[in-house]
Structure 1
């Protein structure tokens, strides 16, 4: 399997501590839809608790990736949709449990006015590339 190449700071671009500016890879693309803080029965996990919601979302991402024979090492891009940008530290902590600092994917964070249900504090989607 070919490993994704991560470029944390291309020439002329300020380095980022929490993501890689560029990630490229060859292989099979795996797109994981935005995951919400729901358990296997569709119940909310962590009402009002961004850390608990982030842990559940990353657990859901892990399960979705595994269903496509992929893992967090294959992730090249994460997109975070949050109702409050202040939830990012909780997301980073949950991410750290799955992705080492030297394997950070590209990332975007967007604060939104609302998600599909008002109790959701975040939704996270992933793109992965599994080696050819």
Structure 2
């Protein structure tokens, strides 16, 4: 989710998407994983007009030569009306 530690939500596709991927980076790190371990991304977006921006920001985090599989779902809304995007990441880490 693009919610900062202080509870604020940035405006715009780029800012929200970047915060989502930064938050996911933190979660992956805490789990002992990296973006190289991510095998699937699912995007939930309230509109599709920001997809070029979403892909551009995503490319800053994933290996663009072997990106994870992905799905995109357009939704009527997310749990807060100011959210544009939510991303679910599935990582596979050897134990």
Whether TM exceeds 0.5 here: the answer is yes
TM-score by length of 1: 0.69
Q: Which aligned pairs between 1:1-132 and structure 2 lie closer than 5 A?
A: 36-45=1-10, 47=11, 49-132=12-95
Gaps of 5+ in 2: none
Q: Distance in 1 between matches of 2:20 and 2:82?
A: 14
* Larger-Rg structure: 1
CA RMSD of aligned residues (A): 0.9
How many residues are paired up?
A: 95
Q: Distance in 2 between matches of 1:86 and 1:108?
A: 16
By percentage of residues, which structure has more strand?
1
TM-score by length of 2: 0.94
Helix, strand or coil: the match of 2:58? helix
Q: Distance in 2 between matches of 1:114 and 1:61?
A: 21
Gaps of 5+ in 1: 1-35
Helix, strand or coil: the match of 1:64? helix
